[in-house]
Amino acid sequence: MANSIGQALDRVDGRLKVTGAATYSAEHKIENLAYAVIVPSTIAKGRITSIDTTAAQRVHGVLAVLSHQDRLKLAKSPKDIQPGSPADRVLQLLQDDQVVYGNQPVALAVAQTLEAAQEAASLVKVHYAAAKPSVTLDRPQHDFYVPKKMGGPGEPPDSNRGDVQAGLAEAAAHIEQTYSTPFQHHNPMETHATIAVWNGADKLTLYDASQGIFGDRNRVAELLGLQPDDVRVISLYLGGGFGSKGPTWSHVVLCAMAARHVNRPVKLVLPRPLMFGPVGCRTETRQTIAAAAKQDGSLTALRNEVLSHTSTFDEFCEPASIPTRMLYSVPNNTTHQRLIRSDIGTPSYTRAPGEAPGTYALECAMDELAYALNMDPLELRRKNYATEDEDKKLPWTEKALNKCYDLGAERFGWSRRNPEPRSMRDGNHLMGWGVATALYPARRSESSGVARLASDGTVHVDAGSQDLGTGTYTIMTQVAADGVGVPASQVVFRLGDTRYPATPVSGGSQTAASTGSAVYLAARALREKLIQMAIADSRSPVHGARTSDVEIENGRIGMRGDAARSETLRELIGRSGQPNVQGFADTKPGEEAKKYSGYSFGVQFAEVRIDADLGQMRVERMLGVFNAGRILNAKTARSQFIGGMVWGISFALYEHSVYDERLGRVVNNNLAEYHVPTNADVGTVDALWVDDPDDRVSVIGARGIGEIGITGAAAAIANAVYHATGKRVRDLPITLDKLVSS
């Protein structure tokens, strides 16, 4: 693995994207296509008393207007989900008259044109018996409950070691504060989109904007009474997902149901307002943290009590307590996760679920503790460096966080920071510097891949997987190239189809480690077959040689160290008469997953500029330094890290889904009022990394990088704001009014 891996290879799909030739889910050309438009509920809680579709049915081109009154049959109740399937959600599929959140699908208009479907949907008259919704965390404690499971990592909802009260009592300084993060809704460039095509009564093809095509296939098959192999899901390109497109949501199954009902293909694309409600969100969190230390900075106690929302009909827990359990060395540590049932669509995975809000609260608390100790915030973190996972009592697979601290501090110029709040100025602007630690779990799941050498000498590699726009096509090409021993230009990699070998959801930063390992091992299996074929071939330059003496390099097979005794792979397979030679791999984590704790780590530095009179603020620069195992592509990796850091700016200063608590509905359900940073809002952002391979996590030494870039970023900015102003804002987002108010 020395030629392609790690290089800043241009995206292999880049030309297709910039020329518009990349086909996204809503863009597939399907004959006789009809269009579906969802009629969303205008209340958040209650029941439907009547639906009048008379006017809608009269619109020219309308094929059907479906509601619970049509009693469309399913093979299984959408309320039933398989145990142990965290990506499956309880769905709303027009089966009853109950309304359980705002923007819930209550009817579906299907027509020959999109315009006719939109007009028909607007004419559907729905009458409700509304009840008062609740969408706030300000509820009596008896409404809190212990979650059945955390949101994915398999952790218990509570943890405890040592005696926190004793740790607090022995401390020289301690702080206890509550930090809150708001509701946030996914808003990728591409909204959710599905095309459903039936072939007879029991064969279904879905072109779906999905991060998890195999989970999609299984859930749809289960609900519609089909065999999984009779459902084909295709997702060639995604315009962003960030967790939202991981589960199978109601619109996917509704599209398939509608196509079956009207007996023709149907396309359903969610408009931007329907990104708020039916397809998940990051829940509001409230975290109460107590942190205590001796005078030298040694932590004596950490406690984090987390409260967040789930829906009334399903359960999702945002595991924000996880960083508090293991990031720092502390003998006395306790965490609690509690949920409140609210009248909202079920929260779900959003980039770095748990770790993004969890590092915000923990890293702000560490900053406050550093000020209480009159200690440098970076030194406090160094002082409590965890040499093992003290929560699981396991060694790390690999950890180079101290290298990140050193490199980041030097590059950012941390030693020039005046620690006194409001002490650094540039004219009438207050300047602030903040720091925070970043982390994200190193996950790996079972995955498969196949590699074939074709008669023309090209290597064709298939793995189901998905490319969210992060560069999966490219890094898998590089991994396969090095696995076989050919240039990347000689590899054709395909993904996004359930007819290819099975892979996990592209979520949890696991694609590189999981599917990358499968692709590499499939390529190695192909390589070994080719070597044995050459050794057995009397016309081969390596005929009769020992396996250890044969190498494949740059697309040629020959004797190691003897360039004259070699030939191209095309020549080798051409003599064989075979159309192709194939290698397959099916991989999964082994015993190492039980022996070690795997995490990626990093550090975030932020500089903010704030008008001393008006409170207007800007993140002037950010620097992130990360340790995420082997970096597979320097160019796409930097984009991933920077993308996460920019979202950290958004997390800290902009994003906030505002609910009208009287109606239970999001009032800023559009990109005009749901604020995210534009180019003009983002200063200099730079990302570096410590490239230490982690062979305990994956055979290619890689850990995922899709999510670590957002972790710690909001805290670094919040800590910089305090350093600039002397005002601690613990309720995100940090807006101008919170800085200028007394």
Tokens representing 727 are 């005002």
Characterize the bridge pairing of strands 158-161 and 266-269.
unpaired
Quick check: is 707 catalytic? yes
Question: Whats the size of the chain, residue-wise?
Answer: 742
Distance from C-alpha of 739 to C-alpha of 722, rounded to nearest angstrom: 10
Distance from C-alpha of 503 to C-alpha of 499, rounded to nearest angstrom: 11
Beta bridge mates, 178:
288
Tokens representing 249 are 């949501």
Helix axis angle, 355-373 to 634-653, nearest 10°: 70
Characterize the bridge pairing of strands 62-67 and 299-311.
unpaired
Ordered DSSP codes for 696-714? TT-TT-B---TTGGGTTHH
Distance from C-alpha of 361 to C-alpha of 366, rounded to nearest angstrom: 9
CA distance from start to end of the chain: 59
Distance from C-alpha of 224 to C-alpha of 253, rounded to nearest angstrom: 8
Tokens representing 508 are 């949890």
The answer to whether the CB of 708 falls within 8 A of the CB of 352 is yes
**Active-site hit among 119, 155, 284, 707:** 707
Give buried/exposed letters for 163-185 (b at 16+ CB in 10 A, else e): ebeebbeebebbbebebbbbbbb
Distance from C-alpha of 685 to C-alpha of 622, rounded to nearest angstrom: 5
Tokens representing 298 are 């040694």
Q: Where are the beta strands (DSSP E) in 444-506?
A: 447-454, 459-462, 491-494
Distance from C-alpha of 498 to C-alpha of 243, rounded to nearest angstrom: 19
The answer to whether the CB of 204 falls within 8 A of the CB of 230 is yes
Starting from the edge strand earliest in sequence, which strands make up the sheet with 550-553, in order?
A: 550-553, 556-559, 566-568
Distance from C-alpha of 269 to C-alpha of 298, rounded to nearest angstrom: 54
Distance from C-alpha of 177 to C-alpha of 351, rounded to nearest angstrom: 25
Q: How far is CA 170 from the centre of its chain?
A: 40
Residues marked active site are found at: 707
